[in-house]
Amino acid sequence: MNIDNSKLVEKIEKMKKEKTVEAQNEVITEILRARFLCPIIIDKSLAKNGRVEIKKDTKIQFSIIKTKEEKTYLIAFTSEAEVNKWQKNPTQQSIIYTFEDYAMIALNNENLDGFVVDPMGANLLFNTEMIKQIKSNLTHESTIKKDTEIEIAPIKDYPEGLETKVKDMCNNLGKINCAYICQMKQEDKVSVLLVIDADGNEKEFYSSLAGAIIPFLGEYQLDMVALSSEIGKQVKSHFEPIYVKEGQVFKG
């Protein structure tokens, strides 16, 4: 599987040497951007041409690690080489997961204490309290300065997998009615702008969306606003939604 977490590995090594808050924050930034290999056990009969198609009703058994303190962690690998350090098995299956994927599983399962990155290498633990703290800082709500000129436009060099991930997250969260994506320029800052309309307060969904989307942004930054905001209304008048909830009557 083609993933590149070289920046994350570099930042982890730096953090272990320097042990500073700045170095820790750099690791967290890369953790949010990373795409990990998650080892799983799955019915071999589902494999076709070396690939497994995972559907909503597919049963997946996750590989875990237990510590001497009886703590249970999911495993996140930064590369195939790290997977092979742990278990070199030609029949081993892996799926690509992000921080948000691990967070959702760990925080919704009382039998899990978090996840560990490269247990045979960096051995970096993220327990549930750390995961909650990171998620609480993931708002990415756009703040528009007064009298600042805003430019919105189609995204140049559209990041691969971004649109699919947004649609999947909107479906999984269940309460998002529609979503728009475009490029926003504010002064010298260029970002991907995600606009959503949801049942309830849109801000409730920002951290989950940000955690899932950041690994697919490439060099872009992320901003999010509600459809009811002024910038949201501008986006609605210029773009078509990339996602509309099934059964939702969309009034463009």
Q: Are residues 239 and 128 part of one domain?
A: no
Strand partners, 191: 184, 221
CA 138/CA 28 separation, integer angstroms? 11
With 70 as the cut, is the pLDDT of residue 9 above it? yes
**Residue that finishes a domain, picked among 101, 136, 171:** 136
Which pLDDT does position 50 carry in this prediction? 52
Residue 47 has pLDDT above 70, yes or no: no
Q: Are residues 129 and 213 in the same domain?
A: no
For helices 206-213 and 128-136, give the axis angle rounded to 10 degrees.
100
Does the residue 61 lie in any domain? yes
Q: Mean pLDDT for the chain?
A: 85
C-alpha closest to that of 224 among 212, 168, 38, 71: 212
Please, which residues have CB within 8 angstroms of residue 125's CB and are 6 or more apart in sequence?
73, 114, 115, 116, 117
pLDDT-derived band of residue 189, with 50, 70 and 90 as boundaries? confident
95-117 pLDDT, tens digit per residue, is 899 998 999 999 999 999 999 99
In terms of residue numbers, what domain contains 95?
6-136
Task: Give the pLDDT of residue 150.
Answer: 87
pLDDT in tens, 124-172: 999 999 998 888 777 666 666 666 788 999 998 888 889 999 999 999 8
Are 159 and 75 part of one and the same domain?
no
What total number of domains does the chain contain? Answer: 2
158-177 burial, b for 16+ CB within 10 Å, e for fewer? Answer: ebeebbebbeebbeebeebb
Task: Check: pTM over 0.85? Answer yes or no.
Answer: no
Looking at 136, 166, 200, the residue that finishes a domain is 136
Give the rounded distance of the alpha carbon of 186 from its chain centre: 24
> Above 80 in pLDDT, residue 42?
no
Q: Where is pLDDT greater, at 176 or 212? A: 176
